[in-house]
Amino acid sequence: MTDGIAFGGYRPGALAALIGLHMAYYAPQWGFGAAFEAKLAGDMGSFAARLDPSRDLFLTAWGPDGRLWGSITIDGIDGHDAAGSHLRWYIVADAARGRGLGAALMARAMAFVDGCGYRRCTLTTFAGLDAARALYERHGFALVAEETADPWSGTVGLQRFDRVRPPDAA
């Protein structure tokens, strides 16, 4: 049910809108504040400055109202090895949840990962995001590491998930 959604890449204001989506969810739900927002802004700015469509994906989804409804990023430099990539900044706006947008974003991102030939895709998240975890696992991600605290608020434990393609996968 992604009718009316315009998928695209970067456009002016996309980074600010993406930071806004993250803060609209993570601040009230998890108590993340200025440290988290500053980290997002710095990391997204660095990524945008070096974005290379041959190795990176910055996928945005714009609703019929013209607002950013979701986004997902594949960072080809920030993978944890030469054959890897990093899934980053995956989020769907409250208004768009339950419409299949998250699944559509993830499917497009994993098609990009596979098309680039990345053998590994890593993501960092935290416990308690059950719907997201279920989606990650449906797309082949598995929990590989956990920490007890996060660098943004110290209140949630970090989790690392990896999706590893077998060597004989096309």
The enclosing domain of 47 has a CATH number of: 3.40.630.30
- Judge whether residue 90 has pLDDT over 90: yes
- CB neighbours of residue 103 within 10 Å: 14
Strands (E), the chain: 6-8, 57-62, 68-75, 84-92, 120-126, 142-146, 158-164
Q: Which two tokens stand for residue 140?
A: 């082949």
Q: Is 153 domain-assigned?
A: no
Q: Is 140 domain-assigned?
A: no
* CA distance linking residue 11 with residue 125, whole number of Å: 26
- Judge whether residue 154 has pLDDT over 70: no
Query: Into how many domains does the chain fold?
Result: 1
- Judge whether residue 35 has pLDDT over 80: yes
Tens-digit pLDDT profile for residues 91-129 = 999 888 888 999 999 999 999 999 999 999 999 888 878
Confidence tier at 149 by pLDDT (50, 70, 90): low
At CA 135, angle to CA 129 and CA 140, rounded to 5? Answer: 120
Q: Is 139 domain-assigned?
A: no
Q: Is 20 domain-assigned?
A: yes
* CA distance linking residue 19 with residue 89, whole number of Å: 9
Q: Is 132 domain-assigned?
A: no
Q: Is 159 domain-assigned?
A: no
* CA distance linking residue 44 with residue 21, whole number of Å: 13
Q: What one-character DSSP code corresponds to residue 65? A: T
* CA distance linking residue 51 with residue 60, whole number of Å: 14
Q: Is 96 domain-assigned?
A: yes
Q: Is 155 domain-assigned?
A: no
Structural domain including 63 reads: 6-120
Model-level pTM?
Answer: 0.89
Residues 3-11 have a mean pLDDT of 92
